[in-house]
Each structure stands twice: as C-alpha cells, then as structure tokens.
Amino acid sequence: MFSAVARQLLPAFRAMIVMTLLLGLAYPLVLTGFAQVAFSDKADGSLVRQDGKVVGSSLIGQSFDGLPQYFQSRPSAAGDGYDPLASGASNLGPENGDLLAAIEERRTAAAELDGTAPGQVAPDALTASGSGLDPQISPAYAEQQVARVARERGMAAAAVRRLVEEYTDGRSLGFLGEPGVNVLLLNLALDRASGKAD
C-alpha cells in the first residue's frame, strides 16, 4: 500500500498545484473583481457614512452602553463588546450559573433604565447574540426603550416610534427569519431628527 501511495505522489502534487491556482487564486480574485464592479457597496461591508466619514457598517452592531439617549444594543460576547476582531458567543450552557447570573444582572439594569417591570424585559435584552455583533434588536426590545429615548431627547414618543418602524426590517420575503430593528441606523436617524443630542 505504501509504495502504491508513493507512486501517486507526483500526480497528487501536480494536481494540488493546479487546483490551488484555479480554486485558490483565479476563483476568489475573479469574484472579487466582479463584486467590486457590480456591488461595491455591499462587497465592502455596507459601510455607513455620516458627514462623509465612515461611522460603521449597517451589518455590524455597536455598543451604546451608558448612553440613555440612544437605543441600546443586545449584550455582546465579542471581546469587550462589539469587537469585530473577536466575533463569537458566550457558549454558556442552559444550566450555567454564570449565564443565569448575567441574565438577572441585565434584567435589573434594563428594568431600571427603561422603567419596565423586571418580568417584562425582552429576551434579547438579556441574552448575548451568536456573533456578538448582532446589528439588530427585536421590535419588542425597541418598544421597551421608546419612552426612555423620547424623554431623554425631548422628542414625542410617536416620533421615535415612527423612526423605529422605519428601521425595522421585516422577515425576508415575508416569512424567512425574524423581524429586527437596526440599532445603528436608528440611532443615526435619531441624531439627525433631534439635532446632535448631547
């Protein structure tokens, strides 16, 4: 068997080189060229600009911790929170004590911040996402935050709610996945609507 394998090593080596050139260079580079010509915005990561300056990507969430005038993102396990170079989840199991403690801590903080009954806090406000970069929150979590954001900004709740609706993506094709509210785009729109609110 060993000598039979040895006899195939030369074609194996040549085949791997050919495949590397075809699949490892030609294929991705041609597609990159195509993407840059046909879909450059998307191919570059759907970057969001404000006053000509890139402030993030509409696909990658950001942290708004400690700033009550902004809608808050979900808890994140990516690095110190929303670090795109350290994407990932907590991986804590369903019976894990640390996870339970984190959930209760988040519940207390969110209930206090939003003036919600602790039992009513939205589940995605209590749990870290899979990527740690989730750009969205559920419509329920957004609704939970509307009154607070409106108060902090001196805006009418109805106006804030209108913006929330504008930045809510429904299910794809009406039935795929779940609806979600894009937090970064919503907060940018709030800043535009209320003048820079700081």
Partner 1 sequence: MSDTLAGLLQVGALIAALALCWRPLGDYIAHTLTTTKDLKVERGIYRLIGVDSKSDQRWTVYAASVLAFSAVGVVLLYALQRAQDHLPWSLDLPGVDPALAFNTAASFVTNTNWQAYSGEATMGHLVQMAGLAVQNFVSAAVGICVAVALIRGFVRSQSDRLGNFWVDLVRVVVRILLPLSVIAAVLLIGLGVIQNLSSGTDVSTLVGGHQTLPGGPVASQEAIKELGTNGGGFFNANSAHPFESPTPFTNIVENFLLLLIPVAMTRTFGTMVGDRRQGIAVLAVMTTIWGSLVVLVTTLEVNHHGTALQAAGAAMEGKETRFGEWASALFAVSTTGTSTGAVNSFHSSFTGVSGGGLLFNMGLGEVAPGGVGSGLYGMLVLAIMTVFVAGLMVGRTPEYLGKKITSREIKLVSLYILATPLIVLIGTAIAMSFATPRASMLSPGSPHGLSEVLYGFMSAGNNNGSAFAGLSANTTFYNVALATAMLLGRFVPMILVLALAGAFGRQQKVPATQGTLPTHGPLFIGMLTGVVVIVAGLTYFPVLALGPLAEGL
Q: Hey, which residues between 89 and 118 contact partner 1 (CB under 8 A)? A: 89-96, 99-100, 103-104, 107
- For the CA atoms of 46, 47, 50, 53, the dihedral, rounded to the nearest 10 degrees, stands at -160
Rule CB under 8 A: is residue 43 a binding residue for partner 1?
yes
Q: Minimum Å distance from CB 110 to partner 1?
A: 12
- For the CA atoms of 187, 192, 193, 195, the dihedral, rounded to the nearest 10 degrees, stands at 110
Nearer Cβ to partner 1, position 11 or 154? 11
Among 105, 112, 166, 172, binds partner 1 (CB under 8 A): 172
> Considering only 109-117, 119-127, 148-156, 160-168, which stretch makes contact with partner 1 by CB under 8 A?
119-127
Q: Minimum Å distance from CB 74 to partner 1?
A: 7
Cα 7-11-16 angle, rounded to 5 deg: 130
Contact criterion met (CB below 8 Å) for 59 and 136: no
| Per-residue mark of binding to partner 1, 8-37 (x: CB under 8 A) | xxxxxxxxx-xxx-xxxx-xxx-xx-xxx-
Q: Minimum Å distance from CB 183 to partner 1?
A: 10
Question: Per-residue b/e over 160-196, b at no fewer than 16 CB within 10 Å?
Answer: bbebbeebbeeeeeeeeeeebbbbbbbbbbbbeebee
> Considering only 5-13, 109-117, 148-156, 158-166, which stretch makes contact with partner 1 by CB under 8 A?
5-13
